[in-house]
Structure 1
């Protein structure tokens, strides 16, 4: 069932028309990365301390279902943004490229369609399933102790599923890089969890791993990034306020994203090696 599910996700991303630019055959996203986490992984409980008590575990979300049921697995994926779109965004210094903005709005609509497709596939196979991002219990908390947050974090779910680790700009660095969209579905289908082959939750980021890089700091046009991390308030004001106001109408979208700190950086499309690779760092700790 795991292999059949993965093939379905791969096929949907590769063939579905929604993963195409308007009037073009070029895709928003390349081949996805897929990972699995146990629904009862202690990380999901720990996130209540890391993110906030409002962050819901898979079990808490499943209890909101009618009737309630017991989840077994969190299915996660990363949709890498196409190389052509990333290349165009590298050249930008103030606002995102049009292709990046279209990927943020229409590509994320495709990501939502993928969530619904995975749920439908599992339900048709006789299982319970839901997408946390589309769940009625999903809430956003703009003034939480960690800044803007929500009751389900796709990034933290993806980390639990072994898809990557966190970066200085709060994004997730996967084996295919930091420029992507994430999604997840919770189900009662039991699937063996993916391994987390990292030394710690930040080991893919050169800044945290060895104190080098910091390229994303210089890519931010409004100073939302520094050696101390990511100022979510400044970032959100720019991404959801200033950028759409400046280019949204011209690009024909409401949500533009930004992505400057996710392009023209060493982790754009890979885990940067640096002086010590993440795997070598882990092997060193275990020896």
Structure 2
């Protein structure tokens, strides 16, 4: 099974998901990338993310490939989250629906790969972090960076060809797939040219600063939104530092 086949399967699943599951939200076509499980860059995650960050072979002994995909949000959804200090109800609902989409998509791809005689190991879309340190044991964003899906912005989000407004999922498999080439250069205007910095002004809890990021202040805002929408499900989300930016829906540097 080649990456082109998987690309088509993932894109078709996301396209048909809203009608099949009667979700309020519809997503744009996803981006997919692939990394070799033994890419040496994975070792660096124990330093740049957390000492407990897993390697692909920690989760699957014979891991060969990590599949990573970015599911972009539509502009009409993102605009709803630009109004108040708290996250919009639509944004909170999209968080829940997208988490479920990622879970269902991973299960779907898992079945297809298993039928082909291989194995997979899927990781939850979120909440795979230490509740005290708030450091992740598997950072989908960093995995996406290694796979060539995008580059990090000043807001600590992954900027892809379709921007940073969306969610990332990943799957580990012992199926060998040609890795995606990592591109040179920065995608963030500030990192490349020292301009923009709009994401800092968008952070409603002042967790994001030019030279620092307070993850506890950030999560404090997310928990506030979770309390506001506690009838919907787990909605510890914010997303203000993603909206109304040059990189919200596209890569600003070509």
Shift of 1:142: 3.6
Gaps of 5+ in 2: none
Residue 120 (structure 2) pairs with residue 129 (structure 1): yes
Match of 2:227 among 222, 245, 255: 245
Paired positions, count: 252
What is the TM-score of this pair, normalised by structure 2?
Answer: 0.92
1:211-230 deviations in Å (ceiling 9; x for gaps): 11110111111111111132
* CA pair 175-139 structure 1, distance change in 2 beyond 3 A: closer
Q: Tell me the equivalent position of 2:219.
A: 236
- TM-score with structure 1 length normalisation? 0.82
How big is each residue's C-alpha offset from its partner over 1:43-91, in whole Å with a ceiling of 9 and x where there is no partner?
111111212221111111113xxxxxx111101000001121012223x
The Cα shift of 1:191 comes to 0.8
Q: State the Cα distance separating 1:37 from its structure 2 match.
A: 0.3
1:156 is aligned to 142
Match of 2:234 in 1: 254
Q: Cα–Cα, structure 1 residues 183 and 37, in superposed 2: closer, same or farther, change >3 Å?
A: same
1:84-103 → structure 2 map (5 Å cutoff): 84-90=76-82, 92-103=83-94
Question: How far 1:209 sits from its partner (Å)?
Answer: 1.6
Q: Does 1:191 align with 2:177?
A: yes
1:271 matched to 2:251? The reply is: yes
Question: Which of 205, 209, 212 is 2:195 aligned to?
Answer: 212
User: Residue in 2 aligned with 1:281?
Assistant: none
Deviation at 1:99, TM superposition (A): 1.5
Shift of 1:139: 5.1
The residue number in structure 2 matching 1:40 is: 38
Where does structure 1 lack aligned partners over 5 or more consecutive residues?
Answer: 64-69, 278-287
Give the 3-state SS of the residue equivalent to 1:16 in structure 2. Answer: helix
Q: 1:81 is matched with which residue?
A: 73
1:199-254: CA deviations, max 9, x gaps? Answer: 2xxx2111222211110111111111111132111000111x212223444xx343
Q: For the Cα contact (< 8 Å) 2:59–2:121, is it kept in 1?
A: no
Establish whether residue 71 from structure 1 lines up as the match of residue 71 from structure 2: no
The structure that has the greater radius of gyration is: 1
